Structure 1
Amino acid sequence: MTEARVSVLTTGGTIASRPDPEGGVRVAVRGGELAASAGATRVREVMLAHSFNLTPADALRIVSAVLAELADPDVDGVVVTHGTDTMEETAYLVDLVLDDERPVVFTGAQRHASAPDADGPGNLADAVRVAAAPEARSLGALVVMGGRIHAARYATKAHTLALDAFASPGHGPVGRVTEDRVEVTSRPSRPPGFRPAELGDLDARVDIIPAYLGADGVQIAACRAAGARGLVLQALGTGNPTPGVLREVRACVAERIPVLVASRCFDGPSLPVYGAGGGADLAEAGAVFAGPLQAPKARLLLSAALSAAPDPAAAIRRIAPHLR
C-alpha cells in the first residue's frame, strides 16, 4: 500500500507559541520546526499569528492555502495548525467551500510549545493520522483535539484550558484517535455550500448581538447605524428576546436587514416556541431561526451568503438547508 501524503499548513496559535521574556506567551515556532516530526509530506507556513488577531481576510488566506494543496492530486489530506480561539470559525469556513472528499483537519494546542507537558505534538500527530485515514474521507473539515474528531459544522471550543477543549453540543464527536487507530462513528450532515469565488472578500458586515436581562436593543440600533447588512441575535433560551430587542429586530426587518436567531445556551436548537414577546414574535416579525448553529457559525454563514447573494431574501434561501 502506498503511504498517504499529507500536507501540513501552519498558521500560529498556542501550538506554535513560547513564553516571551517581556511577558505573556507569543507565537514563535516556525512551521518547519513545528511539523518536523509530524510525518507530513510537506509543510507550508501560511502565517504566524494568534487566532484572536485573525481577520476575515486571514481566514480566506487559509481557505485559499487549503484549496491550493488540494489542487495537487497527489495530496491525500491536509492538516491546518491553528489557534483554538477562532479555530471553529476558520474550520467551518473551509467546510462551507470544501467540495472534495479528502479530509481537511484542524488542530492546535492548549499548552504552549515549551511546556513540559505540551499537548501540541500529540494533537498534530493525531491530526496527520486522521488526514491520512481512508475512514475520514467525505467528512468535510474536521477538528481533532484531545483524541477526539469533531465535524467542523458542530465543533465549538467548550473549555478555556482543558486539553479536550472542543465539544460538539447535541451531536458528540464523529470519531476518535486511539494510538495509531482512527475510528469514525458517525458522519455529519453537510448541506450545499459555496464556491470560493462567491465569497469575494467576505466583507458583508454581520454582527452578533447578545440578549440578557434588561437588554434594551441599543446595540442593534448601533449596528444598524454602522451599516450592518445582517445580524445574529444570541437570544435567551429557545430563542427569546427582551422587549427592547424585539422592537429593534422589527426595525431591522423593516429595513431588509436579515436577522438570524441563535441561542445563548450551550446545547439545543433555537426554535420559535413562546409568544407574549418571545421567539414566536421574532419569527412573526421576520427573523429566521438558526436551528442547531451557534452564533459564531450563524454569523459566518450569513456573511458568506450575503457576499454570494446580496439580496437578503436570496441569501436566506441559500442558507435555509444549513438551519435544519
Structure 2
Amino acid sequence: MTTRLTVLATGGTIAGIAGNAIAQDYRAGEIGIEDYLERVGGLGLEAELSGHQIANIDSADIGPQVWNPLHRAIVEALDDPDCSGVIVTHGTDTLEETAFLLDLTLPSTKPVVVVGAMRPADAVGYDGLRNFANAVRVACDANAAGRGTLVVMGDRVFAARDVRKVRTRGSEAFRGFPRESIALVTPGTLEWFGAPWGDRDEARFAWCDDLPEVAIVYVHAGQDADSVERQLGRSTRGVVVAGVGEGNMPEAVRQALVDVAASGIAVVRASRADEGLVDREPEDDSNGFVAARALNPQKARILLQLLLASGETDPAALQRAFDGR
C-alpha cells in the first residue's frame, strides 16, 4: 500500500538558489514546490508526494501571515484519511519556533515533520535532498506518530520541544536540549531511541490567528531599567526575559519587571545561554515571575502567547504549564 504524504512548502534555504556552486550569498525561497518535487522524484522515495506552496520566503520573515495558512493546510491534510503524514519545508532561522508552535497546536495521531537545509540547492554539498529524503523516511514510519511535531536535520530526528539551531553553518547546526536527538535516520534506515510518548487526539492549545504581543527583553551587562520600558508597547501582554545564567538580571531590571508583573503583564524568566535550564527561585513568588524551565526565550515566547490567548494569566497556572510543557 502506497504511503501518501502532503508536502507544504514555505521557502527557506532548502528552496534557495545561489547562482554559483561556491558562492556564499544566495536567495532563499526561489524553487517552487512543483519544481522541488520534480527534483526529488528521481530519488526512489517510497511515498506518493503531493505539494502545496504556502509561502516562498526567507524564514526570518515568517510569522502569523504564514503560520495561519500553514496550520489550516496541515489540519486539512491530517483530516484526509488518504494522507499518512505531513512534511513542512522551512528555512532554518526560525524553524524551531514554527515547529514548537505546531507541536502545541496539532494532534499527534499522524507524523508532522519539519525539514530544512543549511546550503542552497545549487551549492556544493547541498544537504536539502538528503534531509528531505530522511524526512520522508520518518513521515512514512508508523512509530513517528505519537511523538508530536518532529524536526529532521543532519541525519537526526529531534522533538520540536527540544530542537534548537546552535550554529550558523554546517550540517550539525541543530541540537536538542534537554534531550538530544530522539532518532538517527538515513534515506534507508531509521533508529528510534525510545517508544512514542502517546498519541494526542486533540491539540494542547486551540489555534489563534492573532497571537498576543509578547516581548523578549535581552539582558546584558550594564543594562538599566529604562531599557525595559522602551521595549514594551501599549498592547504588550507578556515579557520573556532572556536572562544571564539561570535567568538572572541586573537588580534595576528586576525591579522594573516586578512592576511590570504587578501591572498584570506576565513575566517569564528564561536564559540566553544555549543550554539554559531555569528553575524557580524563592523570589519568583513575590516577584510574580514564571520560570521557563528548559525552553529558550523564543520558545518560551510561543508558549506564553498561546497561554495568554487561551485566557490564562495567573502566574501559578502559567508555571504549571511551563513545568509540563
TM, length-normalised to structure 1: 0.90
State the superposition RMSD in angstroms. Answer: 2.1
Structure 2 Cα separation of the partners of residues 219 and 227 of structure 1: 17
Tell me, yes or no, if the aligned pair for 1:9 and 1:44 is still in contact at 8 Å: yes
State which of 93, 116, 120 in structure 1 corresponds to 2:101: 93
Secondary structure at the aligned position of 1:80 is classed as strand
Tell me, yes or no, if the aligned pair for 1:239 and 1:272 is still in contact at 8 Å: no
1:1-324 equivalences under 5 Å are 2-19=1-18, 24-26=25-27, 27-36=29-38, 37=40, 39=45, 40-186=48-194, 193-196=204-207, 199-202=208-211, 204-273=212-281, 280-309=282-311, 312-313=313-314, 317=317, 320-324=320-324
Task: After superposition, give the CA deviation of every residue in 1:66-94 in whole Å (9 maximum; x if it has no partner).
Answer: 11111101111110000000010111111
Secondary structure at the aligned position of 2:150 is classed as strand
Structure 1 Cα separation of the partners of residues 290 and 110 of structure 2: 33
Structure 2 unaligned regions, length at least 5: none
Tell me, yes or no, if the aligned pair for 2:12 and 2:59 is still in contact at 8 Å: yes
Compared CA separation, residues 187 and 172, structure 1 to 2 (3 A): farther
Report the CA distance between 1:242 and its aligned residue: 0.6
Report the CA distance between 1:60 and its aligned residue: 2.1
Task: After superposition, give the CA deviation of every residue in 1:160-186 in whole Å (9 maximum; x if it has no partner).
Answer: 001121110221011110341111113
Report the residue type matching 1:306 in the other structure.
Answer: L
Q: Would you say how many aligned residue pairs link Structure 1 and Structure 2?
A: 311
Report the CA distance between 1:318 and its aligned residue: 5.7
Report the CA distance between 1:321 and its aligned residue: 3.2
Tell me, yes or no, if the aligned pair for 1:174 and 1:188 is still in contact at 8 Å: no
Structure 2 Cα separation of the partners of residues 235 and 323 of structure 1: 18
* Paired-residue identity, %: 32
Structure 2 Cα separation of the partners of residues 101 and 289 of structure 1: 30
Tell me, yes or no, if the aligned pair for 1:208 and 1:299 is still in contact at 8 Å: yes
Secondary structure at the aligned position of 1:57 is classed as helix
Report the CA distance between 1:217 and its aligned residue: 2.8
Structure 2 Cα separation of the partners of residues 292 and 263 of structure 1: 9
Structure 2 Cα separation of the partners of residues 150 and 31 of structure 1: 24
Structure 1 Cα separation of the partners of residues 260 and 305 of structure 2: 16
Structure 1 Cα separation of the partners of residues 2 and 163 of structure 2: 29
Secondary structure at the aligned position of 2:51 is classed as strand
Report the CA distance between 1:152 and its aligned residue: 0.3
Report the CA distance between 1:32 and its aligned residue: 0.9
Secondary structure at the aligned position of 2:7 is classed as strand
